[in-house]
Amino acid sequence: MDNFIVSARKYRPATFESVVGQQHITNTLKNAIKNNQLAQAFLFCGPRGVGKTTCARILAKTINCENLLPNGEACGVCASCQSFQTGNSFNVHELDAASNNSVDDIRSLIEQVRIPPQAVRYKIYIIDEVHMLSQAAFNAFLKTLEEPPHYAIFILATTEKHKILPTILSRCQIFDFNRIRVDDMASHLASIAQKESISFEPDGLHIIAQKADGGLRDALSMFDQIVSFSGGNVTYSSVIDNLNILDYDYYFNITGSLLTEDSAKTLLLFDEILTRGFDGAHFISGLSEHFRNLLVSKDQATLKLLEVSEGIKAKYLQQSQASSVSFLLSALNIANQCDLSYKLSKNQRLQVELALLKMCHLQSVFNLASIPANGGELKKKPDTPGISTEKEQKTVSEMPVVSDPQVPYQTTKTQAIDKQPVAVKPDVVAEKPKVFIPNLHASSTSVKIPSLKDVSKTKEEMLEEEDPYMKGDAKDAYTNDQFLQCWSDFAARLKSDGKKNALTIFISSPPKLIAPDKYEVTVENKVQENYFRDERPNLLNFLRLTLRNFDIEVSVRIDEKAVVKRPYTAAEKFQHMAAKNPALVELKNKFNLDLD
């Protein structure tokens, strides 16, 4: 029985052309050899299993080849190539720095460098895992590396370039090896399977290449394992069973359930995944990757970022057509939040199920958010100016206080130019529907309700927004008690709307009459003055309509003597900063922050 040789050794590249996925490096090395422009030291950097040591050995063999081919490759038949291939070359020395990292080991190497090569031009030293050398060993190696004999060439290889001293890096030509692409790796595995007469499915080889994460040696090790497991038939099912990989079909089925808002099927599929022994964190990470693949499948320009087989790619293209970009972005955000909070959760299964249920109802949220808000225009009978229809009539005490100071009580343009006295029951803006919209881009557990200014405005409201005050000619007489009663009624509405900061001004500082129909309110600071100015349009419209007198004016003044020095509250500090930088308000709403 012959000894089994693993594929990583049996099919190790022997020429530059056979190296997989590192053409930018192999072409440079071949040109340097052909032009006789070899550096005194090379440093090969990159992740494991991408061909660093292999390229170092090929370079060492090619440099001393006696019959170099026109394309820059070694002939493989001369005495130097034969001795290298059999491992009997006295001119190529390979040192493992992981086990020979002391000063004495480097000194022994330096002593060997003094001996010239035999029958060839160069003496090559390959030092693997060079970052494992100690500080003292690096320092002992510096002088020799900087000024070696003309016949000595050093080839260093490492997976951790950042651990090497800058003085070493400055003395080397540095070559950075890339992770091998999935397609290149799958093609290489297919060629090996054909040489070994092993039947395979392209989807199975793609899964192996993806699992290897850019390392060809890892891919070859998994390939040998699956060949033994499947009896020489590498199929998609055998690969996912042996490597414990979650099937693509689960992600396609779950995404389909999310798009149809079938929450029961979604939870049952997740339960089946857990029953098969997969971890919730592994599932949610794979689901995020699935949403990402669907997103890049939406555009032909980003389709090249999809590193899957052609059969799986066709499924992604089909499902991406049924998924909107809004759904994919929102679902990806929810999955990402779930992934971040998964390890901190005491009930991890519930964390994933909650995220799935949120995704399952995204379509309903989008449909609700797309409902257009009613314009709220006033409708009047043409023969009865100033009087609304029976369904639209409301008393002044029933008028809602609008939370947005920029949208106070308004009348139509006909009222603004009407010369008739204002009617007892004036027209009122029709109340807009309140839409509950979850904040899909905040944390996975937070929702917010937008203010009225987030709801679309009618064309007429946008035109009248520049002048928030109602117009009229009514100048009815009223008593001071009637004025104070209206003042108290307006304060009660501020309280019901939760405007505590503005309410403080109306209950602590009653207005003073300074001239006929002219009142003045004193406040303690600039912050209170700003709060009052925000409510002033609503206040004046309310007073003028209720008392039927459009000459009423209320001004504000800061009373410096009445100012009591006290610590600012968190809300006051925030309002002060927000006045200077309005972006803070957007930041607070976006991340659903609270004022402590």
d(CA 224, CA 216): 12
Mean pLDDT of the 534-542 span: 85
Mean pLDDT of the 159-179 span: 89
Q: Assign 210 a pLDDT band (cuts: 50, 70, 90).
A: confident
Buried b (16+ CB within 10 A) or exposed e, 470-505: bebeeeeebeeeebeebbeebbebbeeeebebbbbb
- Cβ contact 339:285 at 8 Å: yes
d(CA 554, CA 536): 8
pLDDT tens digit string along 425-443? Answer: 444 444 444 444 444 444 4
Question: What's the pLDDT at 204?
Answer: 86
Q: Is the pLDDT of residue 79 over 80?
A: yes
- Higher per-residue pLDDT: 165 or 422: 165
Domains and CATH numbers, the chain: 7-176 (3.40.50.300), 182-242 (1.10.8.60), 248-369 (1.20.272.10), 474-565 (3.30.300.180)
Q: Is the pLDDT of residue 238 over 70?
A: yes
Q: What is the mean pLDDT of the chain?
A: 79
- Out of 155-169, 210-224, 309-323, 557-571, which region has the weakest mean confidence (pLDDT)? 557-571
- Cβ contact 401:497 at 8 Å: yes
Question: What's the pLDDT at 428?
Answer: 44
In the 8-state DSSP scheme, what is residue 481? Answer: H
d(CA 444, CA 440): 8
Q: Is the pLDDT of residue 563 over 50?
A: no
Mean pLDDT of the 531-552 span: 85
User: Whats the size of the chain, residue-wise?
Assistant: 596
Q: Is the pLDDT of residue 240 over 50?
A: yes
Q: What is the DSSP string of 354-421?
A: HHHHHHHTHHHHHHHHTSPPP-----B-TTSTT-B-TTT---GGGPPPPS-TTS-----HHHHT--SP
- Higher per-residue pLDDT: 126 or 426: 126
Pairing label, strands 92-96, 152-158: unpaired
- Tell me the Ramachandran region of residue 428: left when phi exceeds 0, alpha when psi lies from -120 to 50, beta otherwise: beta
- Out of 34-48, 298-312, 454-468, which region has the weakest mean confidence (pLDDT)? 454-468
Token reading at 312: 């799986």
Q: Assign 157 a pLDDT band (cuts: 50, 70, 90).
A: very high
Question: What's the pLDDT at 432?
Answer: 44
Q: pTM of whole model > 0.85?
A: no
Host H or E run for residue 199:
strand 199-200
Question: What's the pLDDT at 143?
Answer: 84
Question: What's the pLDDT at 565?
Answer: 55
- Higher per-residue pLDDT: 28 or 455: 28
pLDDT tens digit string along 5-56? Answer: 888 888 888 888 888 888 888 899 888 888 888 888 999 998 888 888 899 9
Mean pLDDT of the 70-95 span: 85
Q: Is the pLDDT of residue 458 over 80?
A: no
Question: What's the pLDDT at 356?
Answer: 92
